[in-house]
C-alpha cells in the first residue's frame, strides 16, 4: 500500500511569508502527527490530529497551526516565517493509540531566506 | 529541557562487530520506547520497540535493552553491516494516553566501516 506522502518536498520562502505543507497518510490511518527536525535538535513534536481533532500539541508558538480533513489528510501552516523555521518537517501517520507504530513521510525541507 | 538524550552524536564500528547505541530519559512517565533509523533525504523508519514491562526485546540483528531504574535504554546491532550506516533516534512515549506523541532524542550517526 502507498506510504505517507508529503508535498512539496522542497520549499524556499522569504521571512514574513506564510507556508502550507501537506501530508497524506497511509490509507486507513486516522492519526497524523507533525514533527520539526533541525540540526542537533532531533525531532520535535508539533501536534497530532485524530479524526479531524487536535489531540495533542507541542511547545511551539501559535504561528504553527494545522488541520485535518475528513479523509485524514492533514495540512500544517506556518505564518510570519522566521529564519529559525528553516527545518525538515516530517509527518507521521498511524492507526492511532499511544503505542501504534508511526510511519513517516520523506518530509518537506523548508528554507527561509 | 531534553527529556530524551542521546549523548553520543556519532559512533564508528567495524563491519561484523557489535554496535551499541545509548539513550537516557528523564521523564518517569515514559513507558514505551522505540528506535528509528533515518537515511539522508528519507523519513525515519521504525526499527524496534520495547514496553516498560520488559527489559529486553529482540528482532533479528537488533536487540533493545531497557534499564528502568537507570532510565536508560540501548540498541545493540549484531553483526553490524555497512547498510546499517544511518542516524539512529530513540523515542519515548506514554502508553496510557490515547494521543500519539513521541519524544525523540537528538540522534546518533552510526558509521559501519567495511
Residue B44 main-chain phi, psi, to 5 deg: -60, 145
How far is the C-alpha of B97 from the C-alpha of B92, rounded, in Å? 13
* Chain A residues whose beta carbon lies within 8 Å of the beta carbon of residue B96: 98
Which of B29, B97, B49 is CA-nearest to residue A56?
A: B97
pLDDT at B97 over 70: no
Q: Which residue among B42, B100, B107 places its CB closest to the CB of A42?
A: B107
pLDDT digits (tens, 9 = 90+) for B8-53: 999 999 999 999 999 999 999 998 999 999 998 889 999 999 999 9
For an interface test with B, which of A32, A35, A37, A74 has the most B Cβ atoms less than 10 Å from its Cβ? Answer: A37
How far is the C-alpha of A91 from the C-alpha of A93, rounded, in Å? 7
Residue with cell 501552516: A77
pLDDT of residue A17: 98
* Chain A residues whose beta carbon lies within 8 Å of the beta carbon of residue B94: 98
* Chain B residues whose beta carbon lies within 8 Å of the beta carbon of residue A55: 98-100
Looking at the complex, report in whole angstroms how far the Cα of residue B81 sits from the nearest Cα belonging to chain A: 24
Structural element, H or E, at residue A49 = strand A42-50
pLDDT of residue A96: 78
pLDDT digits (tens, 9 = 90+) for A26-69: 999 999 999 999 877 789 999 999 999 998 899 999 999 999 99
Show the cell assigned to A109: 525541507
Residues of B with CB under 8 A from a CB of A: 4, 6, 9, 32, 36, 41-46, 49, 51, 89, 91, 93-107
pLDDT of residue A41: 74
Beta-carbon separation of B89 and A43 below 8 A: yes
Residue A49 main-chain phi, psi, to 5 deg: -120, 140
Alpha helices in A1-113 (DSSP H): none
How far is the C-alpha of A108 from the C-alpha of A103, rounded, in Å? 15
Show the cell assigned to A15: 521571512
A103 in Cβ contact with A3 (< 8 Å):
yes
What proportion of chain B, given as a percentage, has pLDDT over 70? Answer: 96
Amino acid at each position: 500500500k502507498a506510504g505517507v506522502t508529503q508535498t512539496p518536498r522542497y520549499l524556499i520562502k522569504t521571512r514574513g511569508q506564510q507556508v502550507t505543507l501537506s501530508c497524506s497518510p497511509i490509507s486507513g490511518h486516522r492519526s497524523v502527527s507533525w514533527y520539526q527536525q533541525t540540526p542537533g535538535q532531533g525531532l520535535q513534536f508539533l501536534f497530532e490530529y485524530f479524526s479531524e481533532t487536535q489531540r495533542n500539541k507541542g511547545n511551539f508558538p501559535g504561528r504553527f497551526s494545522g488541520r485535518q480533513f475528513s479523509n485524514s489528510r492533514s495540512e500544517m501552516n506556518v505564518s510570519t516565517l522566521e529564519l529559525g523555521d528553516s527545518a525538515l518537517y516530517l509527518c507521521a501517520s498511524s492507526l492511532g493509540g499511544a503505542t501504534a507504530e508511526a510511519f513517516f513521510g520523506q518530509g518537506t525541507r523548508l528554507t527561509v531566506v | 529541557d531534553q527529556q530524551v538524550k542521546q549523548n553520543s552524536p556519532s559512533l564508528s564500528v567495524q563491519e561484523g562487530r557489535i554496535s551499541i547505541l545509548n539513550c537516557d530519559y528523564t521523564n518517569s512517565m515514559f513507558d514505551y520506547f522505540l528506535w528509528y533509523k533515518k537515511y539522508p533525504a528519507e523519513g525515519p523508519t521504525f526499527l524496534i520497540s520495547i514496553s516498560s514491562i520488559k527489559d529486553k526485546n529482540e528482532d533479528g540483528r537488533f536487540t533493545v535493552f531497557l534499564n528502568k531504574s537507570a532510565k536508560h535504554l540501548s540498541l545493540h546491532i549484531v553483526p553490524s553491516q555497512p547498510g546499517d550506516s544511518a542516524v539512529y533516534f530513540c523515542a519515548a512515549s506514554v502508553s496510557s494516553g490515547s494521543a500519539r506523541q513521541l519524544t525523540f532524542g537528538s540522534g546518533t550517526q552510526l558509521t559501519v566501516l567495511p
